[in-house]
Amino acid sequence: MIRTPLALIPYLIAALAVGAGLLWHAGDLLSATNPVASQGEALVGGPFRLIDQDGNERRAADFHGRFMLVYFGYSNCPDVCPTTLAVMADALDKLGPRAGRVVPIFVTVDPERDTPKVLKAYLKAFGPRFVGLTGAEKEVAAAGRAYRVYYKRAPLKDGGYAMDHSSHIYLMGPDGKFIADYDETLGPDGLADALRKQL
């Protein structure tokens, strides 16, 4: 005969909960072995605290509710950056009124030279839509890490420097989460078509 089985129930529940907890952690460990396949892309993006071309502090949360098209580069870039910014600007023009839901954002990887004033003058060439962001080196580095952006100073023979950098146009959703990334090889029509499917 079993004595007072009811009194054991709380202990059984506790044991089951511990067991379930262990399984849960085992699941975490298993998924951690293959993070790229399960959620790698979703890890692009996150909070930032930077200064725009008018000198105002801007945080990622300020843009929630709208799509962000985010590109990291620098104003002294001889080729890829201006090409990419032109593609972004032209693609948005092609979207018509729907472009109002998208904020194109240029984040400098060269905050030493790209002051708000420099960014303001530079971005004028690409129409009125762009928000240019710069800030303290530390804050720019944090934003770059959040967006998985590679960049590195490359000294030039004349004593100046260029910035090596990765080149991705990130589309972030109104919730601030990563949706897709593109690059300038799509051209304005290709980028506009890709955006139309997401907006």
Pairing of strands 131-134, 151-155: unpaired
Nearer to Ni ion, 150 or 198 (CB): 150
Nearer to Ni ion by Cβ, of 48 and 151: the residue is 151
Describe the crossing of helices 187-196 and 80-95 by its angle, rounded to 10 degrees.
Answer: 50
**Spatial CB neighbours of 93, under 8 Å, sequence gap ≥ 6:** 99, 127, 188
| CB of 76 vs Ni ion, minimal distance in Å | 9
Quick one: 9 exposed, middle or buried, by C-beta within 10 A (0-12, 13-18, 19+)?
A: exposed
| Residues 69, 102 contacting (CB under 8 angstroms) | yes
Q: Identify which of residues 81 and 107 has a Cβ nearer to Ni ion in the complex.
A: 81
The residue behind tokens 């690059």 is 183
CB closest to Ni ion, residue no: 77
Q: How far apart are CA 113 and CA 115, in angstroms?
A: 6
Number of neighbouring beta carbons within 10 Å of residue 122: 22
Report in angstroms how near the CB of residue 83 gets to Ni ion at its nearest. 9
Nearer to Ni ion, 68 or 77 (CB): 77
Question: Is the distance from CB of 60 to CB of 52 less than 8 angstroms?
Answer: no
CB of 58 to Ni ion, least distance (A): 21
Which spans of this chain sit near Ni ion (rule: CB under 5 A)?
Answer: 73, 77, 80-81
CA atoms within 13 A on the CB side of 17: 6
- Least Å distance between CB 150 and Ni ion? 12
Q: Min. distance of Cβ 20 from Ni ion in angstroms?
A: 50
Q: Kindly tell me which of 50 and 99 has the beta carbon lying closer to Ni ion.
A: 50
The least distance separating Ni ion from the CB of residue 162, rounded to whole angstroms, comes to 9
Q: Given the complex with Ni ion, which of 99 and 182 has the nearer CB atom? A: 182
